Amino acid sequence: MPHLDKYSGNWSAKEARHLLKRTSFGVTETMVSEAVTLGLTATITKLFEEKPLPPPPLKYEPDGTGRGEINDPDVNYGETWVTAPIYPDLPTSQERNSVYRARNRSLYAWSFLQMQNANISIREKLTLFWHNHFVSENSNPHREFYYMNILRKNALGNFKELTKQITIDQNMLIYLSGNENNNSSPNENYSRELLELFTIGKGVAVGNGDYTNYTEEDVVQIAKVLTGWRARWIRHADPLNAYFTNSRHTKGNKKLSHRFNNAEISENGDQEYKDVIDVIFKQDECSRFIMRQFYIWFVNSEITSEIETNIIEPLAKITRDNNYEITPALKVLLASDHFFENVFCMIKSPLDLMISATKSLLTVAPSSSVKEEYEFAYIMYLACSDLGQSIFHHPDVAGWKAYYQEPLFYKTWVNNFFLPKRLEYCKILVAGGDLLINKKKYKVPPLVPVLAIARDITNATDPNILVKELANRLFNYEITDGQTDSLKAVLIDGLPDFEWTVEYGDYLANPSDSTLAISVDKKLRNLVAVMVQMSEFQIM
């Protein structure tokens, strides 16, 4: 029977890895060691620590008009474009669009770097959760950054407050037609998604236009409540803040259905949107709805009637008791027996996969310059997009199918089209080679420092210990003797164990011997490249 009792089992590297893999992107052995030392309670506390917002994205393409260069006169190389004019003063729209695209690339690379560099913190995982929950899209990099900044600032905070902020975010106003919603022609796009996808969920149909949690008339009335909000023109003096036009707002009171206890929203001008959101959040189903989303995101896609009763409902009550602050309930969930029982049941998202194939293996993006660091991160962004998870560009307003589409859920990441690419990309990140993305080649050097990884393993001169310890780190559980033998065959090509013991021992004794180093590096790299293509590496 599932329950939320606090985990009381053994706290070791295995449990620490499970917690960190689900709550962050890429888990290094340093993170694991720190978590083991801290213990479960202190690790949970550290995961939820409020941290300053990261410095904003930088211009990483040098000045110029050649390939890999950009003419953005308002920003110097290595400085942020976020504070620069949103409408670059350039002679042609073509030049202006080039600047926008360069800033977009910077934003996408920077977003990947935030996930890669987060360490023991749940904020980036939650930022991505909210990005997949409050789906929005806009081609303007400043508006995209501003929208994502709202999510990041509120990632560990209050669900109801975040809903209010997102409702009048310019990105969202444009994406779901709120900008066109006025008293002469109310537009229901946002009011429908506010109910169905963002706050309470539809439920099953019980009558004509009547669902379990709201009615079609509620969609109409809430659309009227939200009339009058506009997004500013990008050449305006204050282009990132929405504004309210009272003359476009539907006057008078708006009455909701029996699903909301026939609540009446009084005429309240530019504060009316807050009033209707408060009414929506008075319904207990809002707390259940968001806890189901978190459960799928962090634990498992299967929500049985027992889980609904024993996990979702108690978490929902904690959320309501805390006026929709999400942290208290999430801390209980992630510290529970139930969480630590749900292992190896989640297929890694492309972002989890790519970062676990780099950061987890001690790989860091080239950091000799801003340009190299951002270029590497942008390639990783493109790789994730090619595997079906493009930040800032969801397939539709419902988000990525892996988190809502029954019965496949996470299995959508590994269909016949994506799986071969996933395996190939993992191999290339270890062994080096060309990532072929949209018919364009991106060269990736053999970045994973396999020699350093092996040196970190005690008694790695024994190929059995080496293989099993690598498996513990990469897969987080022990492999069979048969798998060990198969992987040893990759390492030493079917030769006796002592062949590796002698060769690796000689290397450790003479690390400056380039011939030995190249030979050992090649063997280790081939081994790890095979391991990251195994099905065990695809799950967490």
Predicted pLDDT of residue 68: 78
Of 92, 96, 85, the C-alpha closest to 236 is: 85
Instruction: Domain count for the chain, please give it.
Output: 1
Q: Cis before residue 407, ω within 30 degrees of 0?
A: yes
Mean pLDDT, the chain, whole residue set: 95
Q: Which residues, in sequence order, are CB contacts of 89 under 8 Å at separation 6+? A: 73, 74
Per-residue pLDDT of 408-453, as tens digits, reads 999 999 999 999 999 999 999 999 999 999 889 999 888 889 999 9
Dihedral through CA 142, CA 151, CA 128, CA 197, nearest 10? -110
The answer to whether residue 79 is domain-embedded is no
The answer to whether residue 511 is domain-embedded is yes
Per-residue pLDDT of 165-211, as tens digits, reads 999 999 999 999 999 999 999 999 999 999 999 999 999 999 999 99
**Which pLDDT band holds residue 2 (cuts at 50, 70, 90)?**
confident
d(CA 452, CA 470): 12
Q: Measuring CA to CA, how many Å separate 112 from each of 106, 132, 145, 150, 372?
A: 10, 15, 13, 17, 14
DSSP letters along 214-272, please? Answer: -BHHHHHHHHHHTTTEEPPPTTSSSTTS-EE-GGGSPPS-EE--GGGTT-EE---GGGH
Predicted pLDDT of residue 139: 84
Predicted pLDDT of residue 99: 95
Provide the whole-model pTM.
0.96
**Phi/psi class of residue 55: alpha, beta or left (left: φ > 0; alpha: ψ in -120 to 50)?**
beta
Predicted pLDDT of residue 98: 94
**Which pLDDT band holds residue 363 (cuts at 50, 70, 90)?**
low
**Which pLDDT band holds residue 117 (cuts at 50, 70, 90)?**
very high
Structure tokens at 479: 């492999």
Average pLDDT of span 2-10: 94
Contact 152, 57 (CB under 8 A): no
Q: What are phi and psi of 216, to 5 degrees?
A: -65, -30
Average pLDDT of span 68-76: 89
Structure tokens at 34: 């720190």
d(CA 298, CA 21): 10
Dihedral through CA 146, CA 148, CA 149, CA 152, nearest 10? 170
Residue 106 exposure: Cα atoms within 13 Å on the Cβ side? 31
Q: Which residues, in sequence order, are CB contacts of 2 under 8 Å at separation 6+? A: 306, 307, 310, 311, 338, 341
Predicted pLDDT of residue 65: 77
d(CA 232, CA 84): 17
d(CA 361, CA 451): 11
DSSP letters along 51-110, please? Answer: -PPPPPPB--SPBSSSTT-B--TTS-TTSBSTTS-SS---SSHHHHHHHHHHHHHHHHHH
The answer to whether residue 534 is domain-embedded is yes
The answer to whether residue 493 is domain-embedded is yes
Least confident of 35-39, 464-468, 478-482: 478-482
The answer to whether residue 204 is domain-embedded is no
- Whether 475 has a pLDDT exceeding 70, the answer reads yes
Q: Which residues, in sequence order, are CB contacts of 349 under 8 Å at separation 6+? A: 389, 400, 402, 410, 413
Dihedral through CA 76, CA 80, CA 86, CA 90, nearest 10? 10
The answer to whether residue 460 is domain-embedded is yes
- Name the residue range of residue 475's domain: 450-538
The answer to whether residue 518 is domain-embedded is yes
**Phi/psi class of residue 405: alpha, beta or left (left: φ > 0; alpha: ψ in -120 to 50)?**
beta
The answer to whether residue 354 is domain-embedded is no
Contact 228, 183 (CB under 8 A): yes
